[in-house]
Amino acid sequence: MITNELILNIFEENLNGERREPTKIHEKREVFVEENVPYGDKDYLLVFWFEDNSSDWLWVRNCYPIS
């Protein structure tokens, strides 16, 4: 089951402190797509963006195991 705690753990373990470039623009929003993000014994797909370009509002659209 995908929970908020799992998503936060994946972000902290794999993406914490690293600068990422947006993968695409959807309407006026920069969207980030991270494929094959390892966590535990699975790889995950993450699709996320920052609401109003503020680091205070992180929205995760998809997070699911791909392996």
Rg of the chain over Cα atoms, rounded to whole angstroms, equals: 12
Measured distance CA(18)–CA(52) in Å, rounded: 20
pLDDT tens digits along 3-12: 888 888 888 8
Question: What is the structure's pLDDT at 67?
Answer: 67
Question: What is the structure's pLDDT at 57?
Answer: 83
Other CB atoms closer than 10 Å to residue 60's CB: what's the count? 16
Question: What is the structure's pLDDT at 10?
Answer: 87
Query: CA separation (Å) from 12 to 24, 25, 26, 27, 28?
Result: 23, 24, 25, 28, 26
pTM, two decimals, is 0.74
pLDDT tens digits along 15-37: 877 788 889 888 888 899 988 88
**2 compared with 67, residue with greater pLDDT:** 2
Cα torsion at 20, 29, 33, 65 (round to 10°)?
130
